A and B are shown apart, each in its own frame.
Chain A
Amino acid sequence: MQLRSTDTEMGAARSMNGAGPHPNAPSEGAPVVSHLYRPGVSYDEMFEPDGAVRANYAALDARLATLNPADLAERQRTLEQSFLLQGITFTVYGAENTTERIIPTDLLPRIIPAAEWSRIEAGLIQRLRALNLFLGDIYGDRKILQDGVVPRELILGAPSYQREMIGLYVPHSAYVNVCGSDLIRGQDGEFAVLEDNLRVPSGVSYMLANREAAKRTFPGTYRSAGVRPVERYPDLLLSTLKSMAADWRAEPQVVVLTPGVYNSAYYEHAYLARLMGVPLVEGRDLVVLDNMVYMRTTQGLRRVDVIYRRVDDDFIDPLTFRRDSGLGAAGLFNAYRAGNVVIANAPGTGVADDKAVYAFVPEIIRYYLGEDAILPNIETFLCREPAQLSHVLANLDKLVVKAVGASGGYGMLVGPHATVQEREAFGERVAADPENYIAQPTIQLSTAPCFVEGQIEPRHVDLRPFILSGEQTVVTPGALTRVALRRGSLVVNSSQGGGSKDTWVLQGDEAQP
């Protein structure tokens, strides 16, 4: 397949060779993106199907034409060193030695033109507005259940439905203050929502760290491309959190609650606390007295107004939720009920990002906003419906089947990649407990060029933008692009061999060199 552009100078020079071997290709000094790049059937972020470079990638393409694999490898090393130095690592506990690894990060940015982004942005805001209204409704009047738009038992029977939240006032009806939705781009090039993460989404620190790295790796390209900045995120997060505090608390004290240094996202918790300039607290730093939350400081107890918690619902208060939790503070939920503290995200938001509820989100948007969803869902089969279950069981080899409660890429079957035995075993589990499973067609995630093992190859990517919602709802113009680093793999989760790369949202639709 010929894959050279004609729209840049460098490209034009090389395109004379047509489909034939590039004169420099096999040698060490060869530019890295060349005819050797072979996207598959998926939509490729950089190349048109005919091999031309998309306009939003023109600047990067021109830069890459001046670099050889050794240059890129050198940059990759510098980048990894810098991540290691900053401590952007997770710990691998071995028998002999405890080592620290960085989350694999790819050098080459993923570039999104302005027109695509504005659609994503509008779609995300619409979706989160509707989901927040939905949460307010199901913990309030339950109109949507009475009207039969969403099955009652699907909500009220879900383990993530927190009865303790019923009837509570939530300012601006902003139950979800921080949302990190997972989007994918299918073969047709359209973005769709794969998953709403409404509990304690993570990854935003990688968005920021990747950006810092990309600016150092490709400074000239970054400047000429006209990239929208992401650096305001911590500031926006802080003002979102403050907007949730009661009006009469003039200078609300915000804190970040972390499970502690052994949590895999600890780096992010510390990073956000540092960039917001607020204390990073652990459960043991908090004390609840008379339904007020305090932190233990060197000056005695200090009142806390807003807790950006990075601890799951079940662990925030041993008196209300899991008794064996040492990660939260006893009495925290009662203080929350009394309106003396804000917990962000609110407890009980998980019920709305349940994989079965997901199927109803387009209906939910229509119900509350009277609009069609701007960003479509992936077609989803609910195994709880007998007709859909039999379709799923008959087509296991074509579908991805997921457990409703699980996340992180666990408890799922990727039909086309599974063996017959695996499919049969999984099918039995689904038939035995259909309510717990949904199925979706296998989607070819789009591919983007990644620098892997000394050359540039296509790898599947998704997109996780971050939406903040308090008094206002805003989307930071950037995202975490997660990469399935194994060739052909569609699993982008960092727990399963995924990496990430920076995401450039352009001011315009083209990035000329």
Chain B
Amino acid sequence: MMLARVADSLYWIGRYVERAEHVSRLSDIMLTATLDQNEAAIDVAHVALAAVGEAVEEVAERNALDAVHNLVFDREDEGSVVTSLSRCRENARQVRDQITTEMWERLNLLYLRVTGPDAEHAFAQQSSAFLHGVIADLHLFKGATDATMNHGEGWRFLLLGVYLERAQLIARLLDVCFSEDADRPPLSDHLTQMAVLRMACALEPYLRVYTAELEPRHLLEFLMFDEEFPRSIRFSTLRMEEHLTGLARATHSFGHSGPERLAGRLSARLEFADLDEDQGAGPLLSAVVAECSRIHLAVYETFVAYPLELRLPA
């Protein structure tokens, strides 16, 4: 049993943590890739910026470091790392009594570092190290969450947020790379393919399965359907389903509007998908993004903003 507002905040903490990590990683890869002055580098920059919803044409004019600086520090930008971390911490502050001190201190330290007076200087000096530090701290936060928080309702809400955000982010990334109507060449270059795998933190796990002979089709299948890779869409939806089922059990809310049913349906769709039959990945990827939005709304209606008359105590 927990306050509806608290559940909402924990869910958003999960989403913001995941978003901040993803944007940091894309930024880092974009910076590293653009050290090479070639076509592939520009391609990588385009993929990265399009995947986080930045206007690509506009950004191509500027150099990559400026673009990344904005992705990290721009407070006006809804998706920037600083915005995500500020909101994450604001949510954490509102539920300070519900998260552990270990989690809070990790997050607070990271927030203070990224928003502190020295942050921009540290970034200017060693951008990549700075971004690595952010990602490592977010991993520590997730580790502290796993190791110190009760694996109960609140923990499930937090992880639900993480996996829902992750499924959407990876789907958007793949959509940019593979959808037919994308006005960019298919993923043909070896360096670009490596960069995309890195953006999903998937390079090493992929190589273990498919070796270094990169294939766009394998890459797509791996990031969509692999059951063991923790950042594949399938893995993420399975965890969503698991946590939503757990939440339905904990809150006796079976049969309301049923976010767990939506998550189960999405999992099943991914499990039995066939890319040849479905005319490419585009429709499926769009469906993932749309279904995640529906699950998000269903979660909100079931656990947070339910009508009072339905939920009086027995």
Contact = CB atoms under 8 A, between A and B. Distances in A.
Interface of A: 84-87, 100, 256, 260-261, 266-267, 270-271, 273-274, 279-282, 284-285, 287, 289, 294-303
B3 A281 contact: yes
Contact of B251 (A273, A295, A298): A298
Nearest to A292: B313
Interface stretch (B36-44, B46-54, B104-112, B162-170): B104-112
Contacts of B105: 85-86
B221 to A, nearest CB: 37
Contacts of B90: 261
A281 to B, nearest CB: 6
11 contacts: A85-B105, A85-B108, A87-B108, A266-B93, A271-B96, A273-B97, A280-B98, A297-B3, A298-B1, A298-B3, A302-B1
A298 B247 CA distance: 9
Given A274-B97, A299-B253, A300-B306, 16 more contacts: A84-B112, A273-B97, A274-B98, A279-B6, A280-B97, A281-B3, A285-B3, A285-B4, A296-B4, A298-B1, A298-B3, A299-B1, A299-B311, A300-B311, A300-B312, A300-B313
B155 to A, nearest CB: 13
A319 B174 CA distance: 54
Interface of B: 1-7, 90, 93-98, 101, 104-105, 108-109, 112, 153, 247, 250-253, 303-304, 306, 308, 310-313
A30 B192 CA distance: 63
Contacts of B6: 279
B313 A303 contact: yes
Contacts of B247: 298
Contact of B104 (A87, A279, A301): A87
Contacts of B3: 279, 281, 285, 295-298
Nearest to B90: A261
A279 B4 contact: no
A477 B141 CA distance: 37
A274 B154 CA distance: 14
Contacts of B1: 297-299, 302
Contacts of A303: 313
A298 B2 contact: yes
Contacts of A297: 1-4
A280 B92 CA distance: 13
A295 B112 CA distance: 33
Contacts of A279: 2-3, 6, 97
B250 to A, nearest CB: 8
Chain A to chain B: the 6 pairs with minimum beta-carbon distance, closest first: A300-B311, A270-B96, A273-B97, A274-B97, A280-B97, A299-B251
Nearest to B112: A84
B64 to A, nearest CB: 27
A280 B303 CA distance: 18
A499 B252 CA distance: 49
Contacts of A271: 96-97
B101 A302 contact: no
Contact of B5 (A87, A256, A282, A299): A282
B101 A298 contact: no
A247 to B, nearest CB: 20
A87 B93 CA distance: 9
Given A85-B109, A86-B105, A87-B104, A274 B5 contact: no
A150 B112 CA distance: 54
Contacts of B308: 287, 289, 296, 301
Contact of A270 (B97, B109, B311): B97
A302 B313 contact: yes
Contacts of B96: 87, 267, 270-271, 274, 280
A286 to B, nearest CB: 10
